[in-house]
Amino acid sequence: MAETKENLTNPGTWVGEHGDILFRYALLRLRDPGAAEEVVQETFLAGLKSKDSFSGRSTERTWLVGILKHKIVDYIRKRSRERPTAGADAASTLDNMESDVFDDKGHWKPGSAKWLTDPDSVQNRGEIREAIGECIDELPGKQADAFTLRELEDINSKEVCKLLGITETNLWVMLHRARLKLRGCLADNYDEELGDDAKP
């Protein structure tokens, strides 16, 4: 049952009731504990300033997560402006991608990893979320931001390109490479979750 304005909890209890969940949510997306703390604090401040506009159509936690999502996007936008774009142009990057999927004779490399467990059930386990977060940490900064915005935050491609100051071709390349690296990282480091034959 959704909360109403009248039963919105005291903002003094927000840290205890929602802080850990908001922090974990932000940490998975930003991969930086300091940045995660910053956006969670900004979320609480924004929630405090706008608590009178809480409509009660959702739970208090859902409302705070909605605020947090906006703070995360703002943080990534700011970070991408401060971070230089990689020097390789999209055309050469697309050419180089062939080596990721084709062998020396032009044949497809072995296909996708075989998951031995149901991905939906694995996704709900904390260990796999942590593993994905650790693998995202290994991605280059802008590539990780592109993956986070598009796949975790479900922001459309045009908006992601605008936020990161890149073309749609650049975004496609970044996402393709991120998926390959994440697949390899998960298969190499977390084969107990995926099974021994999951390695690409």
Amino acid at 49: K
- Choices 1.10.3470.10, 1.10.1740.10, 3.40.50.1480, 1.10.230.10: CATH for 5-82: 1.10.1740.10
Distance CA 145, CA 29 (A): 8
CA 42 to chain centre: 19
pLDDT band at 28 (very low <50, low <70, confident <90, very high): confident
Q: Is the pLDDT of residue 90 over 80?
A: no
pLDDT digits (tens, 9 = 90+) for 54-67: 887 888 999 999 99
**Which amino acid makes up residue 117?**
T
In 3D space, the residue among 160, 170, 182, 161 whose CA is nearest the CA of residue 100 turns out to be 182
Poorest-pLDDT segment among 2-11, 27-36, 162-171: 2-11
> 53: pLDDT confidence band, cut at 50, 70 and 90?
confident
Query: What are the residue ranges spanned by the domains of the chain?
Result: 5-82, 90-198
What sections of the chain are H helices per DSSP? 14-30, 33-49, 60-82, 90-101, 119-123, 126-137, 141-147, 157-164, 168-189, 191-194
Tell me what pLDDT residue 83 has. 61
Domains 5-82 and 90-198 share a fold: no
Classified by CATH at the fold level, domain 90-198 comes out as Arc Repressor Mutant, subunit A (1.10.10)
- Over range 163-176, report the average pLDDT: 92
More confident: 103 or 134: 134
Q: Residue 5: which pLDDT band, with cuts at 50, 70 and 90?
A: low
Q: Nearest 10 degrees: CA dihedral of 28, 29, 34, 38? A: -120
Contact 8, 60 (CB under 8 A): yes
Q: What value does the mean pLDDT take over residues 7-35?
A: 87
Residue 122 reports pLDDT greater than 70 = no
Distance CA(45)–CA(51), nearest Å, equals 10
Q: What is the mean pLDDT of the chain?
A: 78
How far apart (Å, rounded) are the C-alpha atoms in residues 82 and 165? 11
Phi first, then psi, for residue 14 (nearest 5°) are -60, -45
Query: Of 3-12, 85-94, 157-166, which has the strongest mean pLDDT?
Result: 157-166
Q: pLDDT per residue over 64-78, tens digit each?
A: 999 999 999 999 988
